[in-house]
Amino acid sequence: MQHSLIEAKDGTLCGTCPSRDEGLYPDGLLTFGTYWGGYMKHLCDVYPIGNNFMYTKNTPCDNNDMVLFISSIYQGKYISVLAKEFAEKNPTTPIIYKLHNAEIPSKEKYIHYFSGNDNVQVYSTEEDLHDLISSSKLVVLISSTVFYETLSKKRCAAVWDHPDFTELTRMHKGFKNSHVFETVEQLTQIAENPQFVEDGITFFEPYHEDIVKKLFLR
């Protein structure tokens, strides 16, 4: 499950980590690599089986001057305002505003919103997200799993420490290539020359067939 666990008493989603009596836990969690679960408090075993798709998508290409903004159904009304303000302060910087799949029905609304900004393009499914990350010099977001894909592709992420999402953004802090900001002026400084620093962290590993065989063929 991507976001939550299950409350045992009524089957609803919960964002916290309840006790064994309060929550429904699986026998084990299958993860994309050893990074996941190493520092997390789980009441079950963690099996890093890897993921070939995510692993092979980690290869970066030469970046250009593009800045990529990652929207979401809950955060779009905030980060779209930030993107517009950034676009107006940096009119020569090419910007792509990437919609969440759930926002596709609202694409025309976003296109109209950015119609006065010649340097902004609104994308939904026109191009693969991994390719967009690879061809960007900076990825801007509030909170998203795209953060980990960005760092895996050796790109820097700019994390907006928005007061309404403090609990979500805190998980993106503390990484060498995570630049936390509060104002558009700070974001402009970050975007001038983001330099990726090798940190030795691997979020996505290749598929570990041996682990899967031990789990399912015993």
Question: What tens-digit pLDDT sequence spans the chain (218 residues)?
Answer: 555 455 555 555 455 555 556 666 677 788 898 888 665 666 678 889 999 988 887 665 665 789 999 998 889 999 999 999 999 999 999 999 999 999 999 999 999 999 999 999 999 987 888 889 988 999 999 988 899 999 999 999 999 999 988 888 888 888 999 999 999 999 999 999 898 998 888 899 999 999 999 888 86
CA distance 147 to 93: 21
Please tell me the predicted confidence (pLDDT) of residue 15: 52
At 142 the pLDDT is: 94
Token pair belonging to 30: 């299958």
Average pLDDT over the chain reads: 85
* Separation CA 50–CA 56 (nearest Å): 11
In angstroms, the CA 191 to CA 179 distance is: 10
pLDDT reported for residue 34: 87
* Residue owning tokens 């690879």: 134
- The whole-number pLDDT of residue 5 equals 55
Determine the pLDDT at residue 54: 86
CA nearest 23: which of 2, 46, 40, 44? 44
Q: What are the domain boundaries of the chain?
A: 5-48, 66-192
Give me the pLDDT at residue 121, please: 96
Is 110:128 a contact under the CB 8 Å cutoff? no
Q: Which phi and psi (to 5°) does residue 138 adopt?
A: -155, 140
Give the torsion through C-alpha atoms of 202, 181, 197, 206, to 10 deg.
20
The percent helix, strand, coil of the chain (3-state, each to 5) is 35, 20, 45
Would you identify the CATH topology of the domain 66-192? Rossmann fold (3.40.50)
pLDDT, residue 137, reads 93
Give the per-residue pLDDT at 176: 92
